[in-house]
A and B are shown apart, each in its own frame.
Chain A
């Protein structure tokens, strides 16, 4: 048996034991009452019911998932599309850096959740407010990481470019950005997970649909099975998104470091 398969089997085994222990603690030994922690089997059956049932929160599960995904991806993409070039420009142009950095440093330390009240005041509790919140939270890691990445470029690589007659813009596009690419992707990965986490926080406070909203409603009426289901879905969707991003990264980042 090859080592990789062995390691994968270990992971699968650990996951299954987690489910078994959970099942034993709940349905078998009744260590915890079902209204505070449902068993995995109960959670699974709730999953299948909730796919087509609008009770108790007014939407079926796929609608909640889509609503959350839409907001998360919109916010994340706009944060990445604006944040990455901003970080690159700051690292490349000293004057611009001096101009932007004070404001950026002030705003970046505000935790994403701290933005929620002002976003609600400014944009209401609709999609916009949440997209704006996700934007703010995913923007910051993108800027910081692309900035750091550009700064990593070795001076010898710049020398090589210069002795080959590369122009300033070629130095940026052909040398600095490729150097920064692994860092840029680290930024995207951090952004994506921060985006996903702050989304749920946002939906807990202000929403009409979405996974966070679903959990919140379930809490008010004491449906622990829906809460646990929501948590597991948030976890696994987050995992899938980061696997997708890793796939994209492997397409773009070449040569290894």
Chain B
């Protein structure tokens, strides 16, 4: 691949340009993001990691175009973001599947909205359903699936629209620990197979180190970047390797200071 290692304007996929966000209520102003600057390269896996109540999700929503920044702008692929669009797929915290559609119906929803022909979108949806390990569940309705399986559908749905950018908002937050490890491994596998630019929000340090190319450590409210870590560990990663544990200790102690 050309341009590896050097950050040039060409391979920057997401650019956050001094983002500020203030929520205003009647007699109160609440600043959640202060001067947030970030550049994310094409096909990079960036984890926004920070303490519980900081504005991670808000940053993600602004990149998605679901919320507007008070000041500053976001560029995706050189285009200024003003609203949500099919170039940015999103996987949500809680299951956001459509309960009235089957697994297949949910996964092919994106291409269907964009008018992709039935045969083509079925093939594509089937590919991603297989990829997330749900072969045989195409005709099931979400209510019949476990939490982990529902999030798999969510991931397949986001990929199926073929967006260059995928945003994940604590997608495994509601899962039990065992399922969570499994899903992290699965996502790691999917990301190696299907390269995309990924922004992943979490407050779980293991998850962050396991998945990230780069961890962006955020401060508490108002959110801004405290420190960045390039994670160079070979994949698939081992939760218990010395390097992993050292990193974990380092980042955790750094975070403790921010709280």
A254→B84 contact, CB < 8 A: no
CB distance from A167 to the nearest CB of B (A): 8
- In the bound complex, residues from chain B placing their C-beta under 8 Å from that of A157 are 96, 98
A164→B110 contact, CB < 8 A: yes
A255→B96 contact, CB < 8 A: no
A178→B64 contact, CB < 8 A: no
Kindly state whether residue B254 has any CB partner on chain A within 8 Å: no
Kindly state whether residue A159 has any CB partner on chain B within 8 Å: yes
* Contacts of B29-55 to chain A: CB distance below 8 A: none
A254→B100 contact, CB < 8 A: yes
Kindly state whether residue B253 has any CB partner on chain A within 8 Å: no
By Cβ-Cβ distance, the 4 closest A-B pairs, closest first, are: A165-B86, A162-B84, A255-B141, A164-B110
| Nearest chain A residue, comparing its CB with the CB of B163 | A163
0/1 per residue, B102-138, Cβ < 8 Å to A?
A: 1000000110011000000000000000000000000
| Nearest chain B residue, comparing its CB with the CB of A253 | B100
* Contacts of A164-182 to chain B: CB distance below 8 A: 164-167, 170, 174-175, 178-179, 181
Segment touching A, from B13-21, B87-95, B188-196, B233-241: B87-95
- In the bound complex, residues from chain A placing their C-beta under 8 Å from that of B113 are 161, 164-167, 170, 174
A164–B113 Cα distance when bound, in Å, is 7
- In the bound complex, residues from chain A placing their C-beta under 8 Å from that of B110 are 164-165
B90→A165 contact, CB < 8 A: no
| Nearest chain B residue, comparing its CB with the CB of A155 | B66
Output the residue of A160, A170, A179, A254 with the most chain B CB within 10 A.
Answer: A160
Kindly state whether residue A102 has any CB partner on chain B within 8 Å: no
**Chain A: interface residue count, which band?**
20 to 34
Q: Count of B residues near A, CB < 8 Å?
A: 27
| Nearest chain B residue, comparing its CB with the CB of A162 | B84
A178→B85 contact, CB < 8 A: no
Contact status of A163 and B141, CB under 8 A, knowing A170-B113, A256-B99: no
Kindly state whether residue B171 has any CB partner on chain A within 8 Å: no
Q: How many A-B residue pairs have CB under 8 A?
A: 73
A257→B99 contact, CB < 8 A: yes
CB distance from A253 to the nearest CB of B (A): 7
CB distance from A155 to the nearest CB of B (A): 9
CB distance from B128 to the nearest CB of A (A): 14
CB distance from B67 to the nearest CB of A (A): 10
A162 CB contact (under 8 Å) in B66, B102, B157: B66
A137–B90 Cα distance when bound, in Å, is 45
B143→A163 contact, CB < 8 A: no
- In the bound complex, residues from chain A placing their C-beta under 8 Å from that of B89 are 163
Kindly state whether residue A156 has any CB partner on chain B within 8 Å: yes
CB distance from B106 to the nearest CB of A (A): 9
A160–B113 Cα distance when bound, in Å, is 11
A156→B101 contact, CB < 8 A: no
Contact status of A256 and B85, CB under 8 A, knowing A156-B96, A174-B109: no
* Contacts of A215-240 to chain B: CB distance below 8 A: none
A163–B167 Cα distance when bound, in Å, is 11
CB distance from A87 to the nearest CB of B (A): 19
A159→B84 contact, CB < 8 A: yes
CB distance from B110 to the nearest CB of A (A): 4
| Nearest chain A residue, comparing its CB with the CB of B142 | A255
A165→B66 contact, CB < 8 A: no
| Nearest chain A residue, comparing its CB with the CB of B64 | A163
* Contacts of B149-196 to chain A: CB distance below 8 A: 157, 161
Output the residue of B92, B99, B100, B142 with the most chain A CB within 10 A.
Answer: B100
A52–B127 Cα distance when bound, in Å, is 65
A256 CB contact (under 8 Å) in B84, B92, B143: B143
- In the bound complex, residues from chain A placing their C-beta under 8 Å from that of B94 are 156
Kindly state whether residue B243 has any CB partner on chain A within 8 Å: no
| Nearest chain B residue, comparing its CB with the CB of A179 | B100
CB distance from A106 to the nearest CB of B (A): 33
A255–B102 Cα distance when bound, in Å, is 7
* Contacts of A112-171 to chain B: CB distance below 8 A: 154, 156-157, 159-167, 170
Contact status of A160 and B90, CB under 8 A, knowing A165-B114, A170-B113: yes
| Nearest chain B residue, comparing its CB with the CB of A257 | B99
A125–B143 Cα distance when bound, in Å, is 51
- In the bound complex, residues from chain B placing their C-beta under 8 Å from that of A178 are 98, 100-101
- In the bound complex, residues from chain A placing their C-beta under 8 Å from that of B88 are 163
CB distance from A249 to the nearest CB of B (A): 13
A to B CB contacts below 8 Å, 5 in the list: A157-B96, A157-B98, A160-B157, A165-B161, A255-B143
